[in-house]
Structure 1
Amino acid sequence: MMTDLTVESLYLAAGVALLLAATVPRLFRNRAVSAPMLVLGVGAIVGLVVGRLGLNSISPRSHPEVTEYLAEMCVIVALMGVGLAIDRPLRWRTWNSTWRLLLIAMPICIVAVAVFGWWVAALTPAAAVLFGAVTAPTDPVLASDVQVEGPTSGEDPHEEDDEVRFALTSEAGLNDALAFPFVYFGIFLAVKGSMSGWFVEWLVWDLVGKIAIGVAVGWISGDLLGRAFFRLPIPNVRLADRGEPIAALAAVFAVYGVTQLVGGYGFLAVFLCAVAMRRIERGSDYHGEMHGLIEQLEHVLTLVVLLVLGAALTSGLLSALSWRGALVGVVLILVIRPAAGWLSLQRSDQLGTTERRITSFFGIRGIGSLYYMSYVVIQTDLGAEADELWAMVAFTIVLSVVVHGASAGWVMTRLERQRERDGALS
């Protein structure tokens, strides 16, 4: 049960986030100081002030349920926005870079981080696997300069897509869900012990079954909703003609709720629902209207979560962080993800050498990791290791926000100039 101070703190965070959401993103676009960096800094100052006043602040460590719900809401709203923003039809060949990042880079990252965490930070095998899985999802929302900007109209819009932006955005849309089986693997390892008693169940149900349910529910519901929005034979009820963007939120909550009730991965279903909706009537301006509403709500929720995280940073969340734990986070962001991404994209004919380097580097960690960490703490009793994992996850997110946020605008600007020069020479 949340205390009154906790509820009041949430209201305060929401109010500040609304003000920041209205002014900060455009002001700091393509700047070295990104909006998430600024919000984390504001949150850190709030945490210091709250501590000096002797009040209780909201911390992911002490309020995992609150953090889980906030981060969960933020992720599902962001996934709908990402799905609506992607113009490219879902095909194996045109999404080749995405599949490589998901099927090669993400497993390599999880295994490498787990082994490094066990070896360097002396984590138990279960905690090491959990850290690798929790930090597996990428999050372009925290560095908007590297994501696709939104839905466009046209008969074949994918021909003009920026492959780097597309790969990073579509990867984040799918790996927020596909990290879940590996999180369950770590939870089972911590709770059930030896793999002989649960590995087959995990393989059949958590890895294959829940993904299949998420794919089926998401795609079918997106197809049905898209037909209802754009092709319903009753004009007065056809939402695309009336311009009712609130339908996007209805789709988010309904699809996520149904998928969770039947045992599938709701994150996956929400993203695929949006992709399927785009497929029905790709050139409609209604997609832009829905995306605009979703994007605004996404900004607010993201900034609320970042304010809470920032306040927690100066309220003891990092107290259990050792230099070894920090080293694991640094190696993940600066070595493991870039190396895994580069390896996975070696035979991709859709990306040039420079584009491969950029795509590999921007493996941004963010809100998804907060959600998974909260979920893990609620589901398992990790004892003292829970504090250490919280500190490592928070440090990794902050490092990613700073490194990727400060470099995203500069890197993407350089890439666009290089393309212009190459185009002029050709």
Structure 2
Amino acid sequence: MSEYIVSITLVGLAALSMAWVPSLLKRTFLSYPIVYLLIGVGAYMLPVELPHPDPLWQEDYVVHLTELSVIISLMGTGLKLRRKVNWQNWRVPLRLVSITMLLCIGGVALLGWGWLGMAPAAAILLGAVLAPTDPVLAEQVQVGPPNEKEEDDVRFSLTAEAGLNDGTAFPFTWLAVIVAIASEATDSEWITDWVLRDLLYRIVAGVGVGFLVGRGLAYLIFQVSQKTRFPKAQDGFLALSVTLVSYGLTELVHGYGFIAVFVTAITLSSCEPEDEYHVEMHDFINQVEHILMVMLLLLFGGSLVYGLLNYLTWQGIAVGLIFLFIIRPLAALIGMWGVKMPLREKMAVSFFGIRGIGSFFYLSFALDKVDLVEANQLWSVVGFIVMVSIILHGITATKSMSYLDYVRSRSGKKQVPGVVKKG
């Protein structure tokens, strides 16, 4: 039996089921990422030929497949957000991607170095790859499509954080790579190079190119057709094209494409916000995202069967649980210190720092640049944390969000788009 034919049939069936599974699971405590992860585990336990998911996941296809999945998810995430970009509206997610993310990276790096016995480069890399909240698997705790006008503070904060920190974590991934290279050399200029190039220039380039692409395409899509006889864009696939253009142009000038895609998306969504074309673009990109997510979850499930966790020790398990239950929640609460928000909502934001596909991208990206003796251990620890996050957050997300909505409705509190209370 052809491995290729079996594979495309399995992916086709899994993608086909996405038409019904999310709706069927709405009344349960399960999330559909859990279902497809289990399907992946089950499929790879069957006596059929499937693509071998290398437990170390360091092939080029993993880098590119996870990269594509993340940038598509970032476009969909940005198109959903409707709040005007300013400090007052965005201060919670901005705190989460600065104060909270740095605390998470530092806390995990210290545990990796002191408890897991990792070299500094590997410890920094572990912290960097676990820092971002994943935009791919966090749909249950994110805001709805563009035509849903109200955005509560919890969903908005988690959605905006997921969009922002998939780019802002990149400098620290590069830091791990540079530290690994610098440990073999005597040149001390690497610190200056990292600050100027990887921390400053690449972020500025990502924001700049993303904004220019977003404004240019917004003018072409929404204004040119009103002023001239130029045909109006009508196809949702334009969102995918915009994603690739924004990402590609930014990477060509050595900026952070993840940041550019998200900035492009929120720039587009702020132009003619009432236009139904935003919904069409979001719906198309969301469907593409679901197909890629299904493929990656099936592969992830297969990698668990084929030994991804073989190098996991009890210390690695402890580090993973400490990160999910202590470091991330505490770091988020510290980051939101002084923000006027009900404690239960702060707890929800701090708890639902979902880890997923983005962590696999950063890890495979870094290990493609430099060889680390701790590579096997890194894959096992990161794989364990992502697996636990999918199950833990997948089981608790729906009920938790429903409870917050219920309490909010009982208190008569309504969320106003674009408004965050002063603290």
Shared fold, TM over 0.5: yes
Q: How does 1:233-312 map to 2 (within 5 A)?
A: 233-239=227-233, 243-312=234-303
Q: Distance in 2 between the 1:9 and 1:61 partners? A: 23
Conserved 8 A contact 1:114-1:131: yes
Q: Distance in 2 between the 1:357 and 1:85 partners? A: 23
Please give the TM-score of this superposition, normalised by the length of structure 2.
Answer: 0.92
Alignment of 1:378 onto 2:368 = yes
Could you say which residue in structure 2 is the equivalent of 1:337?
328
Structure having the higher helix fraction is 1
Q: Secondary structure at the match of 1:238?
A: coil
1:161 to 151, 157, 161: 151
Could you say which residue in structure 1 is the equivalent of 2:132?
137
C-alpha displacement at 1:357, in angstroms?
A: 0.7
Conserved 8 A contact 1:60-1:67: no
Q: How does 1:380-419 map to 2 (within 5 A)?
A: 380-383=370-373, 385-419=374-408
Conserved 8 A contact 1:189-1:195: no
C-alpha displacement at 1:289, in angstroms?
A: 0.5
Structure 2 residue ranges without an equivalent (≥5): 414-423
Could you say which residue in structure 1 is the equivalent of 2:419?
none
Conserved 8 A contact 1:36-1:401: yes
Q: Percent identity?
A: 39
Alignment of 1:187 onto 2:177 = yes
Alignment of 1:198 onto 2:193 = no
Q: Distance in 2 between the 1:31 and 1:53 partners? A: 31
Structure 1 residue ranges without an equivalent (≥5): none
Q: Secondary structure at the match of 2:309?
A: coil
Q: Secondary structure at the match of 2:89?
A: coil
C-alpha displacement at 1:418, in angstroms?
A: 0.9
Q: Distance in 1 between the 2:28 and 2:211 partners? A: 38
C-alpha displacement at 1:16, in angstroms?
A: 3.5
Query: Which is further off, 109-118 or 30-39?
Result: 30-39
Q: Distance in 1 between the 2:399 and 2:387 partners? A: 19
Instruction: Please list the CA deviations of residues 52-93 of structure 1 after superposition, one character each: whole Å capped at 9, or x if unmatched.
Output: 557662236255211111111110100000000001111111
1:346 to 319, 337, 352: 337
Could you say if the C-alpha distance between residues 105 and 9 of structure 1 is closer, same or farther in structure 2, counting changes exceeding 3 Å?
farther
Could you say which residue in structure 2 is the equivalent of 1:323?
314
Alignment of 1:423 onto 2:403 = no
Q: Secondary structure at the match of 1:337?
A: helix
The ranges of structure 1 where at least 4 consecutive aligned residues each deviate by more than 6 angstroms after the TM superposition are none
Aligned residues: 409
Conserved 8 A contact 1:87-1:152: no
Instruction: Please list the CA deviations of residues 98-139 of structure 1 after superposition, one character each: whole Å capped at 9, or x if unmatched.
Output: 111011100000000110122222122111110100111112
C-alpha displacement at 1:332, in angstroms?
A: 0.9
2:11 corresponds to which letter in structure 1? A
Could you say which residue in structure 2 is the equivalent of 1:355?
345
Could you say which residue in structure 1 is the equivalent of 2:22?
25
1:275 corresponds to which letter in structure 2? I
C-alpha displacement at 1:422, in angstroms?
A: 1.3
Instruction: Please list the CA deviations of residues 271-310 of structure 1 after superposition, one character each: whole Å capped at 9, or x if unmatched.
Output: 1001111122111111000000001111111111111000
Q: How does 1:72-151 map to 2 (within 5 A)?
A: 72-151=67-146
Could you say which residue in structure 1 is the equivalent of 2:210?
218
Could you say which residue in structure 2 is the equivalent of 1:47?
44
Instruction: Please list the CA deviations of residues 16-48 of structure 1 after superposition, one character each: whole Å capped at 9, or x if unmatched.
Output: 431232222222135322100111111111222
Could you say if the C-alpha distance between residues 423 and 257 of structure 1 is closer, same or farther in structure 2, counting changes exceeding 3 Å?
same
Please give the TM-score of this superposition, normalised by the length of structure 1.
Answer: 0.92
Alignment of 1:71 onto 2:66 = yes
